[in-house]
A and B are shown apart, each in its own frame.
Chain A
Amino acid sequence: MSSSNSNSDYEHYYVPESSKLPIFASLFLFVTVYGAATLFNNMSGMPATFQGDWVHWILILGFVGFSWVLYVWFSTTIRENLQGLPSAQLKRSYVMGMMWFIFSEVMFFFAFFGALFYVRNLAGPWLGGEGAKGIANMLWQGFQYDWPMMITPQQAAEAAGGQVTAMNNEFSGPDKHMAFPGFGAMFGWLPLWNTIILLSSSGTVHIAHHALKEGNKKKMKLWLGITVLLGIIFVCLQAYEYYEAYEHYGLTLNAGIYGSTFFMLTGFHGFHVCIGAFMLLVMWLRATQRDHFTPEDHFGFEAASWYWHFVDVVWVGLVFFVYIF
């Protein structure tokens, strides 16, 4: 990719002909979220326009349609690139688009980390009666703030015989938590292995990227394949951790704010790992089946690897603030 700003860059900015893709993307995105909302309301026993056993098909139709549009859209973009239509300048637009998209993802996680910090440093201690807000403990008698929060204010107040009002849900803290078990027991602690796996996968994708830039495609395919495998192993271990949490730890979405923050942060991270691994898998297929990348022109690969580094960085934040401290 040329970084020079010569005037020739400007003269061939590729403005595509009108396209049917966006309107179908909008339509299927709408069907997807409409289906999801209908399904959730059905599940929770809340009224929705459509009721019945079949409503999940709206969501499935939307999702399949949306995936199909994205497939065609990306294929179109790749085909245009193979035809040499985009100028160096348009490619820079793609690079910027990806960069700022990742920034928006960072801000999405920022909201959840912010919630975690607020609960742990402010709301939790106040509920426990600390500071000028000790009055709050009148509502939740006997509640002691501790993190991970094993006993919710509701449980504490009920145990203390206090009256609990305005409740539409039962929040019982977990029996066991996922926090760092100390150095003695750390090798039996799943998040440690997950950390090793995800951090090394950032390394392997980096090796693959360098191999590609050196023109060593065989090496690139190998290390990219390893990265995808590591990503899949991570997701499997994470699923196992969730199984353990639900079956043996009593740690569920219902388990008070500890469970809420734990599953939202690790869950959205895991979801992003799935997306990242899928992107890398697509890149691996493009490399092995279609020989799409050249040492000079491989932004699809690079974008996917940026995304992968991003989910890795989020994981580091999770390890520190969700698991260790």
Chain B
Amino acid sequence: MGDHGPAKGLSRWLFTTNHKDIGTLYLWFSFAMFLVGGIFALVIRAELFEPGLQIVQPEFFNQMTTMHGLVMVFGAVMPAFVGLANWLVPMMIGAPDMALPRMNNWSFWILPFAFFMMLSSLFVEGGAPNFGWTFYAPLSTTYAPPSVTFFIFAVHIMGASSIMGSINIIATIMNLRAPGMTYMKMPLFVWTWFITAYLLIAVMPVLAGVVTMMLMDIHFGTSFFSAAGGGDPVLFQHIFWFFGHPEVYIMILPAFGIVSQIIPTFSRKPLFGYDSMVYATASIAFLSFIVWAHHMFTVGMPLAGELFFMWATMLIAVPTGVKVFNWVTTMFRGSISFETPMLFSIAFVILFTIGGFSGLMLAIAPADFQYHDTYFVVAHFHYVLVPGAIFGIMAAVYYWLPKWCGNMYDETLGKTHFWLSFVGLNVTFFPMHFVGLAGMPRRIPDYALQFADFNQIASVGAFLFGASQVFFMFIVIKTIMGGKKATDQVWESAEGLEWTIPSPAPYHTFTTPPEVK
């Protein structure tokens, strides 16, 4: 026990109980899904390059928007964060592994099966799900393609995977911290994941509940989402967004943790306001449960509902503002250097804040009647998800990759990748604000002539962004294959237990826990 190295060949990856192996599996799976979801996005952008229908039919276009969203949310962003948690949480708290190593492997291996089931529906009669990633009833019930049943069960087992993954993370953090590693000494990445895991356990079962109601409506004659039987399609939206809003924070809180690790390192200063960061994260998590109906301002809620959800939503700006203030203040008068992870982190702070501000605009209920279901919404959530979640993940990969594989990435290539991504994403998503405010609806394959210019710009940006992610894959593989050897600490002023162990990190770390002062 403790000293065995990795098994040989494929069985290492199939049967592993090692948190580092499983983290690697998650990260590669997520990257594969990122590329698949990216291809779907490029089909969308290619079609939207010009008004009129030229490449795909509307029916297939709808499948692309749906699958792009589902694959990116459940296949790319969430598994990437779980992969990072697997790699980093045990090393950061001085634990030998995750608390429940076999279940850890199970959580991962469910995912490829679930996505096989979901993606294979592209090739069956009736096509893939085409009702948007939010799968509103009755589009996803009465009018759904036959593949909806497979989609429902794919969501069920993905949910099981997420719940088991979260239970594992919670048990690890609560139970496996090294002596002296009190809660308020934990690195912020651990804290943000701790809170994220609670969000996951609380809302993934609600998602399972709502897809089960869909299943019953479709196959067993219930009327949850049919007014004819006394149900209500809007009920679907309420339950979905009760899951969906915490879900969007599930996709951003771990990124908050990542930049809170990186910015102090490259500013050569401790994080400003550690305690307030923890409390802000917890506040955001709490608020995420009571703001869901701001996604549904236009369905015809009573005025009291509109007002409550509007004010509650705007309240989120307070803890989020605390975080942005702390990141900026950490950099203030720091001795900053701009290595690739820092570039991604600074871009995160700036661009995520832009996404946050457009979120505030959308939070104003009367204004939302204008913005609702336009490209402005698309611009908003891509600004929080791409430079938010995705840049957070990329920053983490550049920051910890030397620790994982023992080699430094090529700084010039990393910076090139950053600037290509940065330019690509802004060219893609910034024009969407304009066409959205001008009234271009989302989820359509064709549009009025007046939107053509900005759409062409966005499409060019999308292909630039897409290509630069293939370049990213090249950089990562090149780094794993070889390169300058990394030191144990890797970064001049990096702090934390993971920098005290050798690079690359041995197969087993902290089999005897370190003493944390």
Contacts and interface: CB of A to CB of B under 8 A. Distances in A.
B201 A10 contact: no
B109 interface: yes
B113 A111 contact: no
Given A29-B110, A260-B229, A100 B153 contact: no
Contacts of B231: 119, 123, 256-257, 260
Interface in B200-215: 201-206, 208-210, 212-213, 215
Contacts of A30: 110, 113-114, 116-117, 157
A257 B230 CA distance: 5
Contact of B96 (A15, A46, A96, A166): A15
Given A105-B205, A257-B224, A37 B512 contact: no
B178 interface: yes
A21 B109 CA distance: 11
Contacts of A44: 218-219
Contacts of B176: 13, 89, 93
Given A96-B174, A169-B221, A33 B146 contact: no
A193 interface: no
B106 A259 contact: no
Contacts of A43: 219
Contact of A37 (B7, B153, B167): B153
Given A123-B231, A254-B221, A259-B222, A108 B206 contact: yes
A153 B239 CA distance: 22
B220 A47 contact: no
Interface residues of A, number: 85
Nearest to B156: A33
User: Which residue of A37, A109, A126, A256 has the most chain B CB atoms within 10 A of its CB atom?
Assistant: A37
Interface string A252-264: 1110111111011
Interface stretch (A131-139, A180-188, A231-239, A286-294): A131-139
B205 A118 contact: no
Interface in A1-55: 5, 7, 10-11, 13-23, 25-27, 29-30, 33-34, 36-37, 40-41, 43-44, 46-49
B106 to A, nearest CB: 4
Contacts of B152: 37
A115 B15 CA distance: 41
A154 interface: yes
A257 B223 contact: yes
Nearest to B514: A10
B146 A48 contact: yes
A112 interface: yes
Contacts of A140: 227
A97 interface: yes
A104 B223 contact: no
A18 B15 contact: yes
Interface stretch (B97-105, B185-193, B322-330, B448-456): B97-105
Contacts of A252: 221
B477 interface: no
B150 interface: yes
B216 interface: yes
B124 A47 contact: yes
B228 interface: yes
B205 to A, nearest CB: 4
12 contacts: A11-B512, A30-B114, A33-B153, A33-B154, A46-B146, A97-B99, A108-B208, A153-B230, A169-B223, A171-B223, A256-B230, A256-B231
